[in-house]
């Protein structure tokens, strides 16, 4: 007992080390464990963008950004520890990059008054800003993704998929279960059969699921995977010679690290995305000069230009733009987390803004409002070209099926509001 | 000098049979209790509670529970994670089905439900032993996680399959949910931890504990001297399940607030609690606390030293943490196979004679 109290005392003293800084951004990353292959590029992109702003522009609006990294290992207990240890430093926004941790943090962050940005993951019904005051999931969410995949399959089949079978291979967690409700709704609307194939954490063992796919030969396979599960699934699909062009992953199952392991035969694999791909943007010249050449690149610096690096950078860009918006609204450079929330709620991303930042045509335009915290739900489909070693966009950005999604979002957020006695905002 | 029996005369059986017969030891125990109940709640904040005290207290309960089964009764179990999940889901179902009943009773009832489930999975222990029993309990682990993932009734058919703890109060003070004050969550868990530890300590000193130990040391001999193996083994599973269930309920309701069974109560949790018991010391209540402290606090301490103070990259620190904790486990087990509790015992023996060992 004595030992424990001594240990705890030392731990607490150590935790209080970093000083308060101007604009604190916490990067809850995971560079270890079974999800590291996807966690590293995202975190590198997220950090490099803020480093670029510090090095090139001297921060945002004259305030330097203090970047704090905390390793979660995609583990909820460590995620809570990270949140508690960093929230006292004046963190403006959390981007946990884990649906499990998001569910932990929604009540905590709401009570503490710190906004959460769960970009393309987390709790889908957080799109309803009337209920979820502190949570944002723009520009797209899981249910958008599920609808995008089905719309793409519809396009491939001239608009008729009745009687076809579609299998969903999903991570058996809150993350993977999110799209089921939407897919069931869409199955009813379009008349296809849905087969559910859960894969348990971490996802290295998928033989039986793919054996079932081999036996039942579904017309399409949709995947909700993350980390090592992606690589294994794509390898298994290659092994059973499943036609790759019928295999669509959500945007979290579509990075170079996921397909490269399967070699040339992964060619043709499709994945959704809600932002553009590649490194052919003016901002990469700035990153090269101000971040890489000054030796400040995060991690090993070998992920620049990959899909998830772009996504991390996009997340950081949206956070930085929200900070700018908040600074304009409140007329102060050193904003608080409550002011940051206002900035996020009034964020507007236009083509001119993105072009001025060196990211022309990088993502869809959207506007966040009090009612809508989730953007407009635009996405596109990309395809892996094994020879060129890169993903390429094969469609334009298109909107998800709002007719199906809106009632589901309203119902789910309503249930949450009733469970937790939340009064509707924005009236 | 310390722990001196000289002059500490006992004049009644009650005094002679008390938990801490040596005066110094008893006062030290009182001092720890006073500090835990009267000092810590006033200086505690969110970080201390959520990163240090809650996990330590809750894992201690789980370790005490498993220690009864493995350490005292000698029945190896790899199902702790699954049994904690039973406690958590029982607590969730009770909390949502009977919102007006005090959470205190829900937690105790969850322990009861887990005890029943644990007895069910303990039945094979009457036929099989050792590694084979470990495999049977491993099946319980996987079956229970699968069950809570599969059957919608357990998570009230929520879209994500997650369970979320609604706000519940004790004497008007919230102890679950986001509005919980750090001291309230801490005290709530502390009361359970202290009560469980005292209960376990007295059970293991009494007839039940002696029967368990007889079974552990040699079951045939125990049967010949009149210990009923059926009752002894099943009571061990029951009591162990009760404690583990309470730990699971607190883990879900007070500590995390939202739980996903596959990730939180997976096989890793079973191993973690088993390691706590082995490192802390089999068959020792103090060992359960020491093991929990070692495996909960050391990673947090290392993280804060390596990242917070030395400013190392987080991934390097996380990897090094595995190396250091793993290395220390090996060192401890080679230097002292009976765990931290034995180190403590040896230290007490030495202190008893110090400074005149001869």
**Cα–Cα distance, A48 to A292 (Å, whole number):** 9
Q: What is the pLDDT of residues A404-425, one digit of tens each?
A: 899 999 998 998 888 788 888 8
Count how many domains chain B has.
Answer: 1
Contacts of B55 in chain A (CB under 8 A): 77
Q: How far apart are CA B295 and CA B284, in angstroms?
A: 17
Does residue A79 form part of some domain? Answer: yes
B179 chain-A contacts, CB cut-off 8 A? 111
What is the per-residue pLDDT for A14? 44
Contacts of A123 in chain B (CB under 8 A): 160
Whether A17 sits inside 8 A of B47 (CB atoms) is no
Low pLDDT (below 50) residues in chain B: none
User: A390 and A241, same structural domain?
Assistant: yes
Q: Which range marks the domain in which residue A170 is found?
A: 142-276+379-406
Closest in A5, A81, A111 to B300, CB measured:
A81
In a domain, A131, yes or no: yes
Torsion of CA A358, A364, A365, A367, to 10 degrees: -120
Predicted confidence at residue A10, as pLDDT, reads: 47
Q: How many CB pairs under 8 A join A and B?
A: 143
**In terms of domains, do A218 and A108 share one?**
no
Contact state of A71 with B318 under an 8 Å Cβ cutoff: yes
Same domain? A89 vs A129 = yes
**Which residues of chain A make contact with B266, given a CB cutoff of 8 A?**
201
The CA distance from A67 to A184, in Å, is 41
* A203 plus A218 within the same structural domain: yes
Tell me whether residues B160 and A174 touch, CB distance under 8 A: yes
> Within a domain: residue B68?
yes
Q: Do A420 and B166 touch (CB under 8 A)?
A: yes
Q: pLDDT at position A18, please? A: 41
Q: How far is CA A219 from CA A165, A232, A251, in A?
A: 5, 20, 20
Residue-level pLDDT at A372: 93
* In-domain check, residue A412: no
Residue of B315, B340, B341 for testing the chain A interface, max A β-carbons within 10 Å = B315
Q: What is the pLDDT of residue B43?
A: 92
- Inter-chain residue contact B257 with A178, CB threshold 8 Å: no
Query: Cα–Cα distances in Å, from A288 out to A105, A279, A426?
Result: 35, 11, 43
In a domain, B53, yes or no: yes
A244 and A299, same domain (yes or no): no
Report the residue count for chain A: 427
Chain B CB contacts of A88 below 8 Å: 46-47
Q: What is the rounded distance in angstroms from the CA atom of residue B294 to the CA atom of residue B312?
A: 23
State whether A398 and A264 are in the same domain.
yes
* Nearest CB to B46 within list A32, A40, A84: A84
Beta pairing, strands B163-164 & A247-249: unpaired
Using one digit for the tens of pLDDT, what is the confidence trace for A73-129? 999 889 989 999 998 888 999 999 999 899 889 989 999 999 999 999 999 989 999
A8 with B53: Cβ contact below 8 A = yes
Q: Please indicate, yes or no, whether residues A260 and A288 belong to a single structural domain of this protein.
A: no
| pLDDT digits (tens), chain A, 427 positions | 444 444 444 444 444 444 445 899 999 999 998 999 999 999 999 999 999 999 999 999 999 999 999 999 999 889 989 999 998 888 999 999 999 899 889 989 999 999 999 999 999 989 999 999 999 998 999 999 999 999 999 999 998 999 999 999 999 988 999 899 899 999 999 999 999 999 988 889 999 999 999 999 999 999 999 999 999 999 999 999 999 999 999 999 999 999 999 989 999 999 999 999 988 999 999 999 999 999 999 988 899 999 999 999 999 999 999 999 999 999 999 999 999 999 999 999 999 999 999 999 998 899 999 999 998 999 999 999 999 999 999 999 999 999 889 999 999 899 888 878 888 888 7
The predicted pLDDT at position A426 comes to 84
Q: Looking at CA atoms only, how far is residue A298 from chain B in angstroms?
A: 10
Q: For the residues of A161-211, what is the DSSP string, one character each?
A: -TT-EEEEEEETTHHHHTTHHHHHHHHHHHT-EEEEEEE-TT----HHHHH
Let me know if residue A424 belongs to a domain.
Answer: no
How far A392 CA lies from chain B's nearest CA (Å)? 31
> Which range of residues forms the domain containing residue B95?
20-266
Tell me whether residues A123 and B160 touch, CB distance under 8 A.
yes
Which positions in chain B touch A418 (Cβ < 8 Å)?
Answer: none
Chain B partners of A174 at a C-beta cutoff of 8 Å?
A: 160-162, 260
What is the CATH number for A371?
3.40.50.2300
A17 vs B308: CB contact, 8 Å cut-off? yes
């Amino acid at each position: 007992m004595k030992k424990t109290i001594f240990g705890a005392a030392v731990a607490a003293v150590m935790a209080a080390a970093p000083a308060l800084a101007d604009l604190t951004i916490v990067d809850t990353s995971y560079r270890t464990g079974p999800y590291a292959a996807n966690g590293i590029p995202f975190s590198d992109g997220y950090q490099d963008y803020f480093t670029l702003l510090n090095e090139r522009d001297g921060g945002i609006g004259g305030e330097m950004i203090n970047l704090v990294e905390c390793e979660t290992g995609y583990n909820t207990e460590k995620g809570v520890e990270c949140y508690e240890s960093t929230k006292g430093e004046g963190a403006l926004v959390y981007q946990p990059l884990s649906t499990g941790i998001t569910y932990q943090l929604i009540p905590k962050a709401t009570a503490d008054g710190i906004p959460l940005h769960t970009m393309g993951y987390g709790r889908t019904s957080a799109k309803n800003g009337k209920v979820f005051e502190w949570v944002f999931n723009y520009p797209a969410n899981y249910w958008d993704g599920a609808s995008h995949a089905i719309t793409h399959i519809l396009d491939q089949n001239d608009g008729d998929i009745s009687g076809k079978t579609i299998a969903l291979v999903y991570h058996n967690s809150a993350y993977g279960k999110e799209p089921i409700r939407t897919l069931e709704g869409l199955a009813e609307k379009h008349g296809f059969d849905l087969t559910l194939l859960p894969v348990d954490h971490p996802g290295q063992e998928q033989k039986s699921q793919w054996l079932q796919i081999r036996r039942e030969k579904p017309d399409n396979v949709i995947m909700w995977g993350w980390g090592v599960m992606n690589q294994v699934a794509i390898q298994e699909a290659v092994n059973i010679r499943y036609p790759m062009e019928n295999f669509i992953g959500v945007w979290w199952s579509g990075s170079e690290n996921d397909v490269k392991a399967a070699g040339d035969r992964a060619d043709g694999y499709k994945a959704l995305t809600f932002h553009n791909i590649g490194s052919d943007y003016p901002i990469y010249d700035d990153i090269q000069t101000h971040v890489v050449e000054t030796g400040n690149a995060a991690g090993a610096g070998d992920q620049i230009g990959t899909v998830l690096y772009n996504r991390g950078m996009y997340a950081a860009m949206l956070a930085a733009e929200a900070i700018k918006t908040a600074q304009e609204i409140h007329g102060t450079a050193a904003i608080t987390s409550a002011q940051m929330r206002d900035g996020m709620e009034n964020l507007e991303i236009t083509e001119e803004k993105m072009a001025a930042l060196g990211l022309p045509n990088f993502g869809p335009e959207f506007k966040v409002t009090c009612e809508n915290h989730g953007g407009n739900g635009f996405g596109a489909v990309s395809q892996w070209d094994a020879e060129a070693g890169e993903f390429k966009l094969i469609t334009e950005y298109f909107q998800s099926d709002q007719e199906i999604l809106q009632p589901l979002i309203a119902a789910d957020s309503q249930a949450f509001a009733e469970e937790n006695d939340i009064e509707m905002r924005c009236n | 000098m310390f722990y001196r029996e000289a002059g500490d005369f006992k004049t009644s059986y009650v005094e002679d049979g008390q938990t801490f017969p040596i005066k110094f030891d008893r006062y030290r125990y009182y001092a720890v209790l006073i500090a835990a109940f009267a000092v810590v709640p006033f200086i505690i904040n969110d970080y201390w509670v959520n990163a240090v005290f809650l996990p330590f207290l809750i894992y201690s309960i789980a370790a005490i529970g498993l220690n009864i089964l493995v350490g005292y009764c000698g029945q190896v179990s790899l199902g702790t994670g699954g049994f904690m999940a039973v406690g958590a889901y029982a607590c969730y179902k009770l909390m949502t089905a009977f919102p007006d009943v005090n959470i205190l009773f829900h937690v105790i009832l969850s322990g009861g439900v887990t005890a029943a489930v644990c007895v069910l999975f303990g039945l094979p222990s009457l036929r099989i032993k050792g590694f084979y029993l470990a495999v049977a309990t491993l099946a319980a682990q996987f079956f229970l996680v699968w069950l809570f993932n599969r059957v919608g009734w357990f998570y009230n058919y929520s879209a994500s399959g997650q369970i979320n703890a609604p706000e519940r109060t004790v004497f008007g003070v919230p102890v679950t949910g986001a509005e919980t004050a750090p001291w309230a969550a801490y005290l709530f868990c502390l009361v359970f931890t202290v009560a469980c530890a005292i209960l376990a300590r007295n059970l293991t000193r009494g007839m039940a504990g002696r029967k368990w130990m007889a079974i552990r040391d040699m079951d045939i001999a125990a049967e010949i001297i009149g210990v009923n193996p059926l009752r002894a083994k099943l009571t061990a599973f029951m009591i162990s399940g009760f404690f583990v269930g309470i730990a699971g309920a607190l883990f879900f309701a007070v500590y995390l607030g939202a739980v996903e069974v596959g990730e939180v109560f997976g096989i890793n949790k079973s191993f973690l609690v088993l390691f706590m018991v082995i490192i802390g010391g089999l068959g020792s209540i103090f060992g359960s606390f020491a093991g929990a402290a070692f495996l909960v606090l050391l990673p947090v301490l290392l993280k804060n030293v390596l990242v917070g103070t030395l400013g190392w990259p987080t991934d390097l620190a996380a990897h090094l943490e595995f190396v250091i904790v793993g290395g220390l486990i090996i060192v401890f087990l080679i230097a002292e196979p009976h765990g931290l509790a034995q180190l403590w015992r040896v230290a007490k023996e030495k202190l008893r004679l110090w400074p005149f060992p001869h």
